[in-house]
């Protein structure tokens, strides 16, 4: 999948890391759409996971990045949207395999469980890895 336009969103716990990753994306030349939140003021993660999921599902972006405290809650919200395959990534291997084997179109990470450099490494691995297809295509097809 050619990824040129990337949506990014976070709740209050993920706001600071979202800002760092957004700068990283812009620095790499990606068109980046920030769907919020815009501060560390408390908000509800399902609202931002759903917003990004709907944006991806309607073709607003090629893929997305979500950040909350653990990555779990916000990924659950995004995965409720048909066509979204949000994967919680904890390291480079999970980020890479989420793309290779699951054709994930959204990476979810946790600001309270990942360090900054690991988060950056996950982002690079997610963006640089393609879907392997083959035996995985049949399995991914069953997810839809």
Tell me the pLDDT tens digit for each residue of 54-80: 999 999 999 999 999 999 999 999 999
- Alpha-carbon distance of 62 to 77, in angstroms, equals 18
Confidence of residue 3 (pLDDT cuts 50, 70, 90): low
For the chain, the structural domain boundaries read 5-143
Phi/psi at 22 (5° precision):
-60, -45
- Alpha-carbon distance of 26 to 48, in angstroms, equals 20
Q: In the annotation, is 90 catalytic?
A: no
Q: In the annotation, is 101 catalytic?
A: yes
Which class would CATH give 5-143?
A: alpha beta
From 63, 68, 89, 122, active-site residue? 68
- Alpha-carbon distance of 79 to 29, in angstroms, equals 27
Q: What tens digit of pLDDT does each residue of 13-39 get?
A: 999 999 999 999 999 999 999 999 999
From 12, 63, 89, 101, active-site residue? 101
Sheet containing strand 31-34, edge to edge, reads: 31-34, 5-10, 63-68, 106-110, 86-88
């Amino acid at each position: 999948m050619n990824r040129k336009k990337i949506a990014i969103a976070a709740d209050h716990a993920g706001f600071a890391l979202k800002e760092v990753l957004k700068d990283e994306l812009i620095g790499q030349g990606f068109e980046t759409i920030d769907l919020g939140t815009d501060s560390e003021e408390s908000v509800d993660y399902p609202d931002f996971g759903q917003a990004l999921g709907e944006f991806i599902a309607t073709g607003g972006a090629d893929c997305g990045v979500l950040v909350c405290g653990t990555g779990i809650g916000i990924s659950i919200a995004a995965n409720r949207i048909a066509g979204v395959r949000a994967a919680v990534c904890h390291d480079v291997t999970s980020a890479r395999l989420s793309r290779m084997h699951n054709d994930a179109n959204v990476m979810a990470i946790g600001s309270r469980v990942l360090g900054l450099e690991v988060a950056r490494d996950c982002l690079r691995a997610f963006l640089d890895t393609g879907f392997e297809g083959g035996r995985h295509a049949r399995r991914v097809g069953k997810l839809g």
